[in-house]
Amino acid sequence: HLNIAGVLLMASRSFISFLRDTPLALILPLDEFMPGFHTILGLIAGLGSVLHTLAHLPTYILKKNSAWSSGLHGSTSLFITGITLCILLALVCAAALPAVRRNHFEVFHACHVWGSLVVYILLIIHGSHYGNPSSWKWILGPALVYCLDFAHRWHRERRSYLLINKHSAAIQGQY
């Protein structure tokens, strides 16, 4: 959960820009640090989800009845959300490959935005053991920072402004 939370914080571009103006920038080289760290955390999260799934397989095979009794709506929901999480994380990682990002940026962007949104929702559902949610504790803070960051970027991009070109006819005295 901590890796997923870190990925979300690293995707908060305005937040990272804000941190550049703080004393933290003296300690952490944010410009060099951010893109690589985001990638590493994403890969660790993807690899961790595969290892997590493989670790549960013996439990599901050996203890058929008890293994299927936990989860928000039983282990069927754990199995379905877990497999779906692995598939979505693999899709997000595949869409982040340099060839896809360079040649099909729209695919990369859509997979990252919408795939990640579904991943976080499923992670909260998946992390609800015996009806007791625990994943939200790791995701709430970074998700709030990301949502505020997204709202700030959206507002900034939607502001209307007038640009006056110095080569316009009115400024040069020509009608």
Region of 46 please: left (phi>0), alpha (psi -120 to 50) or beta.
Answer: alpha
**What's the pLDDT band for 103 if we cut at 50, 70, 90?**
very high
**What's the pLDDT band for 58 if we cut at 50, 70, 90?**
confident
State pLDDT tens for residues 135-153.
777 888 888 888 898 888 8
Q: What is the pLDDT of residue 160?
A: 59
Q: What is the pLDDT of residue 23?
A: 87
Is the pLDDT at 60 greater than 80? The verdict is: no
**What's the pLDDT band for 13 if we cut at 50, 70, 90?**
confident
Most confidently predicted of 10-19, 77-86, 104-113? 104-113
113/122 Cα distance (integer angstroms): 14
User: What 3-state DSSP class applies to 165?
Assistant: coil
Please give the torsion angle defined by the CA atoms of residues 90, 145, 110 and 120, in that order, rounded to the nearest 10 degrees.
40
Q: Could you tell me which residues are beta bridge partners of residue 141?
A: none
Q: Measured in whole angstroms, how far is the alpha carbon of residue 90 from the centre of its chain?
A: 13
State pLDDT tens for residues 14-34.
888 888 888 887 887 777 777
DSSP at 129: E
Mean of pLDDT values over 111-127:
85
CB of 77 closer than 8 Å to CB of 71: yes
Tell me the two tokens of residue 60.
């599901």
